[in-house]
Structure 1
Amino acid sequence: MAPRLKAAGIEVTYLFSGRAWNKLFEMEVFGDYEWRCGLTFSTKAGRVSYLKTGFRNNLLQFIRDIKSLDFSRYDAVITDFEPVTAWAAKLQNIKAIGLGHQYAFGQAIPITGDDILARSIMKYFAPAATGLGLHWYHFEQPILPPIIETPKVETIKADKILVYLPFERIQDIVRLLERFKKYQFYIYTSSTIQHKPDHIHIRQLSRSGFQNDLKDAAGVICNAGFELASESLQMGKKLLVKPLRAQMEQLSNALALEETQLGAVMPELDPVAVDFWLKHGRAIKVTYPDVAQAIVEWLLKGDWRVDLAWVRSVWDQVVYHDCATDHPCPPPRLLHAAN
């Protein structure tokens, strides 16, 4: 979104939260951005820990963060499910536009693993007057395709697999993959490990390094987050996801990938599932249009209502391609109706 907003002459102030300031990296594109502590979820052994989350977050600081913002000189706030700006806009009666995958959950899309707590988080964590939800498929709902900045794909290395499982222990990941010696696994992590097989490569977190390894990888093993899966689909990588347990969004994302047959799912770190996927995984390349530009043009109109005809016109530009046959293929045929 950033270069499109700049090119359109829209004045933007960027604010980031949910991650320590000193752990942000490659932020030059956002200029003189702001930062707040915000809120974040805590995990343990691949599962959201609500108790740990409650103790880790400082609610008094969160309230101070909200009160520290003055939106009097802004026409609107765009929040990517970021709670500080969303609540500050709500309290100051400033138009808030929710832009992100989470806002798709207000529509009739595949959902599983939800409960009253999960539904409350989706509704109240970062409220917005208008929601522009994003998803891999429209499910006949007023949601848009993903916003993706995709690098040029290089010659694919059939034995190269990119791995990003930040909520899992590095020891468990290495133990899972060490038996598959015909493949080269590139694991991006903030952790370190002393002993590993030669076919497993440990990489520290770096956006540029990550993108370089993603370019020529044949497949991606990751959690069921939205962004990396979106990039993988657009680049034609076969996809295997392990959803974060007790996290409704990731469990629902995994269900959506299964129902659209765009990716494979393993509920746990399962060597049998990895073996089957390595041998039989199907890569579908989904070419999404320039959604960022479409949203910028929508913003410039100033109406800020989600028109179904506009949404359909964006989806009409999506193209599906079977990487195995090197031929176009029809849109997904859902295995089950959306919940």
Structure 2
Amino acid sequence: MYQHKRFITLMTICALAILATAALLSLAGSGRGLTVQAAPASPTVNTISSDTTWGPGVVTITSDVVITNGATLVVKPGTTVIVGTWAVPTDTAPYVGGVSDRVEIIVANGRLVADGYVTATQLITPYQTITFTNGTLGDPPWWGIRILHASAAVSESIVSFARIEWGTYGISIDNASPTVTHNCITNMNGAWGSNGENGPAGTDGADGTASTNATDGTPGGDGSPGGNGSPAYGIYVTGANSAPLIAHNEINDVTGGQGGWGGSGGKGGKGGDGYSPTDPNVGDGGDGARGAAGGDGAPGGDGGDAAGIYVQDASPTIYHNTITKIRPGNAAWGGSGGNGGAGGKPFYPSFLRPPPALSG
């Protein structure tokens, strides 16, 4: 069942939550008035194999978190999960089963219960009491929540009344059927493609000698193409066994990564100068060699895809979600061609040489 209606109250409260999150991060930096429950400082994957509770307060993680062995991770209302810090801005220990070099919370064979429901008034004017956010500016280390198929003995996950922001995939569902409702998923951004390398410059030709002609320069090398930007999604659902409930979510500002710039072609090599037995500064007539062509510029990378809710080979129940500001990434410019090399200097006999410049 696919219905799409505007859920205005959710959008309004989602916007107000931006200010609340900013204030909470400010308090987290000062260490005032918050219970800090940090992940281990050592760079290891945080494997949760027994029932665990986070919060209320601030939880900081700098590496992948994997819920397995039938365990349940409960994230309580009033909890902010901060991914990465200024001191540790990248994933310190990527999980071998991860799909990104950014930090992921992976429900591998367990259950995530991040339910921010506190009072019945939230059903009328929803607001989020749990936040998952990026702890740095710029290229974020936060990828998102990834819920995988679990054994039949494990109950399905719940993500409700949570704010998920500044990641790449807000919630990714693969052959699982969690309940995903009343969330604010915002500012998902795909990684930018890498820029192509410029082609190497050609080699200059050798000057002529008394016994050899000058040689041509060699062509410049071609630039390499820019990499494609990566996609970004608010909610991503795939797998024939996926039948999640996705309802009353506000999803906005989802942008695919920009493609990388194509590399420029290398400059062609200069032709060698002709040989002159009388004047080493001027070549022998006709012996100047040809400059080589510059290399070709390479194409820029394509921009990454973007979608609020992406469904592939799955059977979700979707209704009453608000989706705004979805932008695919921009393709990048290709590189410029390299300049051709200069031709070698020919020799002018003395009676054809240009007259010297007049002084004064």
Compute the TM-score of the two structures, normalised by the length of structure 1.
0.26
- The structure where helix makes up a greater share of residues is 1
Q: Which structure has the bigger radius of gyration? A: 2
Compute the TM-score of the two structures, normalised by the length of structure 2.
0.25
- The structure where strand makes up a greater share of residues is 2
